[in-house]
Amino acid sequence: MKEKLINEIENAMSGILTFEQTTQLSTSLLQILSKYEVMVDGETMHEDFASNSRLLEIFLSAKQVEGCSLKTIKYYESTIRHLFNGMPKNVADYTTEDIRAYLAVFQSKRKSSKVTIDNIRRIFSSFFAWLEEEDYILKSPVRRIHKVKTGTQVKEVLSDESLEILRDNCKHIRDLAIIDLLSSTGIRVGELVKLDRNDINFQERECVVFGKGNKERVVYFNARTKIHLQQYLKSRKDKNPALFVSLAKPHGRLQISGVEMRLRDIGKKLKINRVHPHKFRRTLATMAIDKGMPVEQVQRLLGHVKIDTTMHYAMVNQTNVKLSHRKFIS
């Protein structure tokens, strides 16, 4: 009904406004009218918002069964509820124009990056595709909204020199062990903080981690990491089974935020740009591929489901590209 009203207004203004102005008018009307109920001949067009919440709950339950993490599920929920609140209507009534208008207004108001907008688009696509598959709606309104082109951004990795500077300036053996474990295994910070002492196999220099979706995999560390881990554990006086604990009493399990803050502070003091746990992971992937490790093995090491993700992490060293060009092409 709202679409019909907008079409009537557009037709009435077509002789006055340009095409660009008409498009802008349509977008604005979609956004504004979404907050109101439209009445025709005294009858109110009711929208069952309670059913939206119920469908969202079922969708999130399905995602949980698929193995999505709690963090991912919460992100899905907040993103979809924001759509319900910003453009309230029954899920069956959302159109492609509604979703496009919502994304356009969201980006304009929040000055969001293209990556953020594409993430929101992907969440909407997943939700409405599920509604279509489960026969709650006839067709997903997101189907005709294509991937947002974000461009390729070369992300920084840690140089060999930066890694050595970080190691040399750790004032506590715990921090040194963390840096060594991150840089030699490439594990996620969420995987690191879940590790217990008993998870470490010093003889084989390996440990079992549980990644996204609670998927189990074996990762390996080098001799230097083994030595520093053993020195750190030997220095501990607490009984906590966690591999890494806080320096202050009561020596609780170290959390993700604690690792991130510690590494950031060390990096700032040493004037090394943006030191964070994920940078060690990207550095390992880049170094492994750069030295000739098959990308399929790097994928397995990092715990990626799709090989495209591995290639996105790993940035090939430009110097080696130059040398390869001279060797094979020049």
Annotated catalytic residue: which of 121, 188, 226, 228? 188
Per the annotation, the verdict on 188 as an active-site residue is: yes
Q: Which of 122, 276, 278, 300 is catalytic?
A: 278
| Residue 244, SS3 per DSSP | coil
Catalytic residue, from 2, 121, 228, 281: name it: 281
Question: Do 50 and 91 meet the contact criterion of CB atoms below 8 Å apart?
Answer: no
- Cα separation, 176 vs 182, whole angstroms: 10
How many CB atoms within 10 Å of residue 74?
Answer: 12
Catalytic residue among 167, 205, 212, 217: 212
Within a 10 A sphere around the Cβ of 166, how many other Cβ atoms?
A: 22
CA distances from 194 to 90, 107, 254, 302 (A): 41, 36, 9, 16
The answer to whether 278 is a known catalytic residue is yes
In the set 94, 102, 232, 313, the catalytic residue is 313
Residue burial 268-285, b: 16+ Cβ < 10 Å; e: rest: eeeebeebbbebbbbbbb
Question: Per the omega criterion (within 30 degrees of 0), is the bond before 250 cis?
Answer: yes
Give the active site residue among 2, 174, 279, 304.
304
* DSSP conformational letter for 87: S
Burial 147-160 (b: 16+ CB within 10 A, else e): ebeeeeeeeebbee
Tally of residues, the chain: 330
Question: Is 313 noted as a catalytic residue in this protein?
Answer: yes
- Residues designated catalytic: 188, 212, 278, 281, 304, 313
